Structure 1
């Protein structure tokens, strides 16, 4: 969900990266509408049948009464969709699994709801099976599976502790990455940060805390961290800085869990313009002790997803905190920002890396990237009004959090629309969940 700008300074301090930029061609476009809701299970507490009641300064029990907006720093644009919601929003596509289901559908993950523990206790946690149809331009939601803890595997008190169903909510975890292996799901969380092993039916099978160099890693929202807490001492992971990307390595079945933001050093400041990557052995259900580093390019502040394309090469989404078309950027000093973007999108890349090639400091080699703000559309695949006059297409969303290889020449990309708090495509309108198919044969063949 939305992040602070705290990483701009450390990212800008990183050395410029000399790597090849590869072309990308839009091969398909499909939409899951922003206002897509799912009905909670019949056994869910009645409190969960209306979501988003705690997103303001006080409880609001009146559905559809407070219109969402993108926030003052982004121009305060209204999004046209109001809280609280009747039902649970499908919004927030925050991860795609590398392995698909038997019918070819994709496992996609919805995040914690509205961005924090405090405002998401009535947002249920779930994953889906989805199938974009690039002929019709629509995305089918084939199945939604709700996460629950009937066997009390979660090591802390959950929001629905005393209920029979023990359904998990955004007050418990912030799921941001997902993998499918041997008919089970592995989910990376940002709050702990934790790795969750989940049955196909949504039951939590185990929860694993994080260790790095033999030491436990906590965040400001990890149970047991209390105020006052010293950054870098009491916790090392930044808020909303856990496992945004968690790739499953073919052959080894290792999870390569990448933090979204740099860890904090003993001085409480980010340790550098890079992200830690730790490996988790799914067979042993434990961390291997190995760790690596991913260097962010200039202007990038976070990553959105991480997935292997073969035994060693993988795709990483890196991004800045901007949203919206840079051609509509607000002029410096503009007081009325109602028709412009004060922080437009400028860095939205899909980077190809080789995990088998690291330098002496543990940095994973970056091979090259494609720019999601400059996609060719020679065949007119973009919906009407989305392509530029030059026949280019952009994906200018704040949080782009889904990437996976489709075949030898194509990749699938999708955004997290932060409903109802992000726009990006059109001022005054909540961003839809867009799925795009990109033809990138040069990128996928690069070594």
Structure 2
């Protein structure tokens, strides 16, 4: 969508808008159990049948022998699960497509596997069709589709290069956002960052390198980035800072690809408290040359998902890096094994209007809801996931899925980083939770 000079002048003259905070009420709650595994396709390498072999310092081929925990930053709480897994973990969801499948199910996807390019060469990449049932509290996985590159469209060597099927793994891409358009799938990747076009049965059609202001954007995990590399000079995209959100604009079929973290300046530090949004034309198969900015709220360090709700307005998840309910935060001097040392604080769903931008390209923030303050007057929260007192919260480190359901409801879900995240209960791996929220005031705001 291109602005005329007259409209640009109008946008630049717009007065500053105060951002409103809107209420949210829990209307439904469902979950997919944390320990959900799928079997690899029959023609996948035998290597894929035991996943997570490289998450430690050395190769480990003893199934379920290495207990996992949340890491020192989050108290090193055990999650009750052990690596490597027999099969492939579904994990949490890393993005919702705006458009649904013909049967009403939701297209969503799993990310690169175990968190890094180095530790995920045996983690297969796939997307799903899922259907949450808020009557039963369960999420049904209807179909899982594995990504593969039989036509050699990926422009670099993949982990399963020498195989016939050429399935993709977490050593190749880190898929974090997904859209469904005209019978095809579009995926936003974090390593390149790249935009990937694929068929509904998972065959890669094309891979597009990111261009900003006529220059290719690279990260430390982009093939071709040679270590040692200087941050801000040899690469500008932060590690795990690629396309966490990629919204599909209904009227234009443009993909608005939003980086998860700020780009790096020449000195290697973040260029500011904003994220770049770069537009890609699905019809032309190329970048438009236009980009915009999304300003993060104080305390937010990244985004989790980005989806349009109409022609110009969209929802963005912004978050801090915290995990766990503040009611169980560690007091000074407390044993971190019994509490949350870095509890969740900033977990917002922000409504923006992409048509309203100032002279510097900042997209207008209209208002937000706070996922740490959700009313539950009807007791919709599932047993074992209700707070002892106070409002319902969604206290996960990585909340990565949001979509509009109807005029008054949105759907939100988390990525549980299996088996390395908790959030609800100390000592228990986080489930893949889907929450239906009643937010009529937010969706009506302009």
Secondary structure of the residue that 1:271 maps to in structure 2? coil
CA distance in 2, matches of 1:62, 1:218: 36
CA distance in 1, matches of 2:252, 2:221: 31
1:298 aligns with 2:282: no
1:263 aligns with 2:263: yes
Secondary structure of the residue that 1:338 maps to in structure 2? helix
1:345 aligns with 2:344: yes
CA distance in 2, matches of 1:18, 1:76: 40
Deviation of 1:390 (Å): 4.4
CA deviations 1:151-192 (Å, max 9, x no partner) are 000000000000001000000000000000000000000000
Residues 17 and 297 in structure 1, CA contact (< 8 A), matched pair in contact too: no
Task: Give the RMSD, CA atoms, in angstroms.
Answer: 1.0
Residue 6 (structure 1) aligns with = none
Q: How does 1:222-233 map to 2 (within 5 A)?
A: 222-233=222-233
After TM superposition, what 4+ stretches of structure 1 lie above 6 angstroms from structure 2? Answer: none
CA distance in 2, matches of 1:207, 1:349: 31
CA distance in 2, matches of 1:429, 1:238: 30
Residues 175 and 189 in structure 1, CA contact (< 8 A), matched pair in contact too: yes
Deviation of 1:384 (Å): 2.0
Residue 396 (structure 2) aligns with = 397
Secondary structure of the residue that 1:352 maps to in structure 2? strand
Structure-1-length-normalised TM-score: 0.95
Residue 20 (structure 2) aligns with = 20
CA distance in 1, matches of 2:61, 2:106: 35
Residue 330 (structure 1) aligns with = 330
Residue 238 (structure 2) aligns with = 238
Residues 423 and 429 in structure 1, CA contact (< 8 A), matched pair in contact too: yes
Residue 4 (structure 2) aligns with = none
Deviation of 1:17 (Å): 9.2
Unaligned runs of 5+ in 2: 1-15
Q: How does 1:34-433 map to 2 (within 5 A)?
A: 34-334=34-334, 336-390=335-389, 392-433=391-432
CA distance in 2, matches of 1:132, 1:331: 37
Residue 4 (structure 1) aligns with = none
CA deviations 1:386-427 (Å, max 9, x no partner) are 333445210000000000000000000000000000000110
CA distance in 1, matches of 2:122, 2:259: 26
Secondary structure of the residue that 1:48 maps to in structure 2? helix
Out of 385-394 and 257-266, give the one that drifted further: 385-394
CA distance in 2, matches of 1:59, 1:391: 45
Secondary structure of the residue that 1:96 maps to in structure 2? coil
Residues 92 and 431 in structure 2, CA contact (< 8 A), matched pair in contact too: no
Deviation of 1:333 (Å): 3.1
CA deviations 1:33-72 (Å, max 9, x no partner) are 0000000000000000110000000000001011110001
CA distance in 2, matches of 1:405, 1:228: 43
Deviation of 1:92 (Å): 2.8
How many residues align structurally?
431
Residues 176 and 245 in structure 1, CA contact (< 8 A), matched pair in contact too: yes
CA distance in 2, matches of 1:151, 1:301: 38
Residue 12 (structure 2) aligns with = none
CA distance in 1, matches of 2:183, 2:49: 29
Residues 92 and 113 in structure 1, CA contact (< 8 A), matched pair in contact too: no
Deviation of 1:266 (Å): 1.0
CA deviations 1:301-321 (Å, max 9, x no partner) are 100000000000000000000
CA distance in 1, matches of 2:443, 2:32: 27
CA distance in 1, matches of 2:84, 2:389: 40
CA distance in 2, matches of 1:84, 1:99: 35
CA distance in 1, matches of 2:367, 2:317: 12
CA distance in 2, matches of 1:343, 1:391: 19
CA distance in 2, matches of 1:309, 1:354: 10
Residue 10 (structure 1) aligns with = none
Structure-2-length-normalised TM-score: 0.96
Deviation of 1:332 (Å): 2.3
Deviation of 1:326 (Å): 0.3
